[in-house]
Structure 1
Amino acid sequence: MPRYRRHLPQFEDGLFLAWTGMETDLIFSQGVDLPGFAAYPLLESAEGRARLAHYYRAQIALGRAQGVGVILESPTWLAHRDRGAEIGYAPDRLRDLNRQAIAQMAAIRDEKGDLPTVLSANIGPRRDAYAAEPDMTADEAEAYHAEQIATLAATEVDVISGYTLGSVDEAIGIVRAARRLDLPVVIAFTVETDGRLPTGAPLGQAIAAVDAATAGYAAGYMVNCAHPEHVAPALSDAPWMARLRGIVANASRCSHAELDEAETLDAGDAHDLAAQLAALRARFPHFSVLGGCCGTDMRHMARIAEAARSA
């Protein structure tokens, strides 16, 4: 039985670090070609698997050094049927790579001892996360994402994490699919520079809508792929804030449209990013997950851990 499937420590006391900046680091800093921005093809080669293992071990080493837990995010954000087909992957091969991704993380967790380490199956949007209009109903999203989630249910995964979601209906579908398989699930919405989802929905309204449609099944919510200055306008002391448990932030203050056009990496200011995240955690002490998304690397993560622990 997976260690945390019935008890998710990232939503209890303490701090957990999550990192979803692998793709931008690989492309811009390591010079690795990722067709379709997908990282799971790295599992196809010994070199690619070594790159993934290096990242996981670096995260665990950082957690141990800082005395905090870590959430290992699988490279499966785009390892689902439609996005896989775009780069030539058939469903059977995708199922195999989803299983391999979790098995690799589980093996590395086991070799590193008793540091609190959560295995997160990272699931991304079916289409464009930043579209202004939803392109699926909740029922369609549930049916679509159930295929990948069913594969992951047979692994040692601890939690399904729907990341970089811009559609309430898609979030509802992911939560329903996870609930059907009795898996914990976390939803991470993305927001634009005004703190609203790409559809224009306020963050609090989106969280409330997902909870209402799923009987509050999600273990919690986060925001990712946005700078803290973009998230801050959405935050308040309203009751829904108790459901928001963390921020996995971009290094850059640029909008999503600007980042899509960028030809160089904007790594921002690691110290400033860490200070802003620490300030938000000081304001909202129930935030238990902090981390980095696009443009971040282990330097940012180390500053985030240090700042959060001293806040």
Structure 2
Amino acid sequence: MTTPTHVPTSASRPFLTEGGLETDLIFNHGVDLPEFAAFPLVTTMAGRASLTAYFADYVAIARAQGTGAVFETPTWRASSDWGTRLGYDADQLDQINRSAVQLLHQVAATSHDIPVVVSGNVGPRVDGYAVGGAMSRAEATAYHRPQITSLVAGGADQIGALTMTYTDEAAGIVEAATEVGAPVAISFTVETDGRLPSGASLATAIERVDQLTDGAAAYFGINCAHPTHMARALEQTGPWERLGLLRYNASRASHEELDEAVELDRGDPQDLLSCHRALVAELPSLVAVGGCCGTDIEHVGLLHGGPVMVGSA
């Protein structure tokens, strides 16, 4: 498996990603996202306009900083279980996933000077902070296959799985993407101790997924954790040449604390930058760096050489 030709190599500067889409929209823009799901925005003119403006801000940062972008479609919860909870059937989810990819290609089409990789985003079946309802690898392949098929049919450059909590689900996503010939990046989340919610070490998780899938993933990543938490995961020896993506939480809080929070914790952007610099010094294979929960354009701008502030719609 190979990444799209315009994805940077390990010898080039990492592309940026967007920040924490859902937390930014909810807390900074007053957008209601039931079940923390952004995909319904794709179904309305107002929602599509909001998403287009959101990603355009990050294009502006990429242009100002002289880098490219890897953008995830707003489909982290556009799989069947979450769709059912929100009242969407299989045909509607198919169209939404395709349309989400097309929306980001439209953003990319207006930004010819900025290389943009459209990553079809897949999230966990149950939760990004807990393992509950763990599937076998075969079950995970079957569950995620319809969404991945829709994203690829819509024109996704690659599949990106974020906030994976255990290896079998991650391996199932790799297998489903491989079946349809799509490059795939797998990003795990870690707790404050640097271990996955399943209890596995990050090194073990990456090695196990590679073993189960013959190394088919284009690269791995860590997301939805503060860089100090990620640093604990990297303290031991591991296949860190396979790490291509880091997407930071703004807050140093644990997942449990964030889950219970009623206000946004933006953390300290300058502290995030300092922690980022210390973390990436030993990770030469990074493909993309950006934000997750609590981050916005200020955080991502700083991570890529800012400060950069652009107007948000």
TM-score tier after normalising by the smaller chain length:
over 0.9
Q: Following superposition of structure 1 onto structure 2, how do residues 74-85 of structure 1 map, counting pairs within 5 Å? A: 74-85=73-84
Structure 2 stretches lacking a partner, 5+ long: 308-313
Alpha carbons 2:120, 2:152 under 8 Å: kept: no
Alignment of 1:164-243 (within 5 A): 164-236=163-235, 238-243=237-242
1:86-97 mapped onto 2 (5 Å cutoff): 86-97=85-96
Cα distance, 1:274 vs structure 2: 1.6
In 1, Cα distance between the equivalents of 2:139 and 2:8?
30
Aligned mates of 1:267, 1:170 — CA distance in 2: 30
Q: Aligned with 1:186: secondary structure? A: strand
Greater fraction of residues in helix: 1
Equivalent in the alignment of 2:310: none
TM-score normalised to structure 2 length: 0.93
| Offset, 1:132 | 4.5
In the TM superposition, what is the alpha-carbon distance from 1:238 to its structure 2 partner? 3.0
Any stretches of 5+ residues in structure 1 without a counterpart?
none
Displacement after TM superposition at 1:49 (Å)? 0.8
Match of 1:32 in 2: 31
Query: Percent identical across equivalent pairs?
Result: 46
Q: CA deviation at 1:112?
A: 1.0
Give the Cα–Cα distance (whole angstroms) in 1 for the partners of residues 118 and 42 of structure 2. Answer: 17
Kindly provide the CA deviation profile for residues 52-86 of structure 1, in whole angstroms up to 9, marking residues without a partner as x: 00111111110010011111111000001001111
Query: Using the alignment, how far apart are the partners of 1:5 and 1:129 within structure 2?
Result: 25
Where does residue 19 of structure 1 map in the other structure? 18
After the TM superposition, list the runs of 4 or more consecutive aligned residues in structure 1 that deviate by more than 4 angstroms. none
- Partner Cα separation in structure 1 for residue 292 and residue 90 of structure 2: 27
> What does residue 245 of structure 1 align with?
244
Following superposition, the deviation at residue 5 of structure 1 comes to 5.7
Instruction: Give the aligned CA root-mean-square deviation in angstroms.
Output: 1.7
What are the residue-to-residue correspondences of 1:1-311 with 2, within 5 Å? 6-7=4-5, 9-12=7-10, 13-132=12-131, 135-236=134-235, 238-306=237-305
Q: Secondary structure of the equivalent of 1:251?
A: coil
CA distance in 2, matches of 1:230, 1:90: 38
Deviation at 1:7, TM superposition (A): 2.8
The residue identity in structure 2 corresponding to 1:299 is E
- Whether the 8 Å CA contact 1:134–1:167 is kept in 2: the answer is no
Deviation readout 1:243-283 (Å, 9 max, x if unpaired): 11221000001111100100000000111112211222223
- Give me the whole-angstrom Cα distance separating, in 2, the residues matched to 1:83 and 1:137: 19
SS in 1 for 2:281: helix
Query: What secondary structure, in the 3-state scheme, does the structure 2 residue paired with 1:198 have?
Result: coil
Structure 1 residues 304, 7: CA separation in 2 closer, same or farther (over 3 Å shift)? same
Q: Which residue identity lines up with residue 16 of structure 2 in the other structure?
A: L
What is the letter of the counterpart of residue 258 of structure 1? E
Amino acid at match of 2:258: L
- 2:311 maps to none
Q: Which residue identity is paired with 2:110?
A: E
Whole-angstrom CA distance in 2 between matches of 1:78 and 1:196: 24
Whole-angstrom distance in 1 between the partners of 2:111 and 2:87: 35
Tell me the distance in 2 between the aligned counterparts of 1:10 and 1:177.
24
CA distance in 1, matches of 2:235, 2:213: 23
Q: CA deviation at 1:286?
A: 2.2
Distance 1:263 1:161 in 2: 28
Q: Partner of 1:283: helix, strand, or coil?
A: coil
Q: Alpha-carbon deviation of 1:133?
A: 5.5
Secondary structure at 1:9's aligned position in 2?
coil
Size of the aligned set, in residue pairs, is 305
- Contact 1:123–1:160, Cα closer than 8 Å, also in 2: yes
> How far, CA to CA, are the matches of 1:10 and 1:139 in structure 2?
32
Distance of aligned partners of 1:251 and 1:196 in 2 relative to their CA distance in 1, 3 Å threshold: same
Q: CA deviation at 1:128?
A: 1.9
SS at match of 1:88: coil
The 3 A distance-change label for structure 1 pair 42 and 132 is: closer
Letter in 2 for 1:60: V
Rounded Cα–Cα distance in structure 1 between residues aligned with 2:210 and 2:132 = 21
Counterpart Cα distance in 2 of 1:134 and 1:278: 37
Alpha-carbon distance change, 141 to 204 in structure 1, aligned in 2, over 3 angstroms = same
Q: CA deviation at 1:6?
A: 4.2
Following superposition, the deviation at residue 285 of structure 1 comes to: 2.4
Query: 1:237/1:116 Cα in 2 relative to 1: closer, same or farther (>3 Å)?
Result: farther
Q: Match for 1:306: what amino acid?
A: G
